[in-house]
Amino acid sequence: MDFKTDFKPLTVDPDKIYDYSFSIIAEEMGPHDFTEDEWKIVRRIIHASADFELGKSVIIHPDAIQAGVNAIRKGRHVIADVQMIESGTGKKRFEKHGGDLHCYIADEDVTIEAKRQNTTRAIISMQKAVRENEGGIYAIGNAPTALLELIRLIKEGIAKPDLIIGMPVGFVSAAESKEELAKMTEVPFITNVGRKGGSTVTVAALNAISLLADQV
């Protein structure tokens, strides 16, 4: 079947599309209490999700942005819970400062240990990440069990990330894991309220932080 339409895009210039999208977001969002730098993160989250309710629910620890910027500039690594975050992130902005992005969930030793313990690979991958990395930024957008395990490791004094971007999506423990993260005092964080979230919005927040780190 041949479908025809008279619709024409307003522009095909990628920079103009971004600018126009951001202007629409600002207009539809209206007044808010986010700081200028916080808004740069929230705006990208809304852009990635087209979800203003999600954007309005974002919680940013007062030290989160500077902690993330400092971590990137020091060459600290980024640890992702799933490979989708690896695919969507501008790794070159980390690499130019000496850092990299790692995801351990598909590692063979993680799979073997998860089966042995009858637990999730996400949990074991966080344990491995903490063993192999000092500090770093943890970007968790898919697995609530990864976020809960990381929180446990922090409370036990085993892990001390520079920043946690914890925005897992789902119906089982997603909202609850973010509630626990929002109670944290030991580590700066970016999170949101409720079931919504996901790898795309976690990537959006991470990319916003890395862009801020690139500013002189």
Q: What is the CATH number of the domain that holds 64?
A: 3.40.50.10230
User: How many domains, the chain?
Assistant: 1
Q: Is the pLDDT of residue 161 over 60?
A: yes
pLDDT for res 98: 92
pLDDT band at 87 (very low <50, low <70, confident <90, very high): confident
Alpha helix ranges (H) inside 8-143: 14-29, 36-49, 52-56, 64-73, 83-88, 92-95, 108-117, 121-132
- In-domain check, residue 68: yes
50 within a domain of the structure (yes/no): no
Query: Which structural domain, as residue segments, surrounds residue 167?
Result: 59-214
Flag whether 25 is in a domain: no
Q: Looking at residues 46-63, what average pLDDT do you find?
A: 96
For residue 1, is it within any domain? Answer: no
- Mean pLDDT, residues 194-206: 96
What does the pLDDT average to over 37-47?
96
Specify if 144 maps to a domain: yes
State which amino acid sits at residue 14: P
> Does a structural domain hold residue 122?
yes
> How confident is the model over 88-144, as pLDDT tens digits?
777 788 888 999 999 999 999 999 999 999 999 999 999 999 999 999 999 999 999
Does 140 map to a domain? yes
What pLDDT sits at residue 133?
Answer: 94
SS3 213: helix
In a domain, 172, yes or no: yes
Summarize pLDDT for 141-157 with one digit per residue, the tens: 999 999 999 999 999 99
Q: For residue 163, what are the CA distances in angstroms to 20, 30, 115, 129? A: 31, 29, 29, 14
pLDDT for 181 beyond 90: yes
Instruction: List, by residue number, the catalytic residues.
Output: 47
Q: How far apart are the C-alpha atoms of 201 and 139, rounded to whole Å?
A: 10
The predicted model scores a pTM of: 0.91
Contacts 24+ apart (CB under 8 A), 125-130: 125/81, 126/81, 126/150, 126/153, 127/153, 128/104, 129/79, 129/102, 129/104, 130/158, 130/159
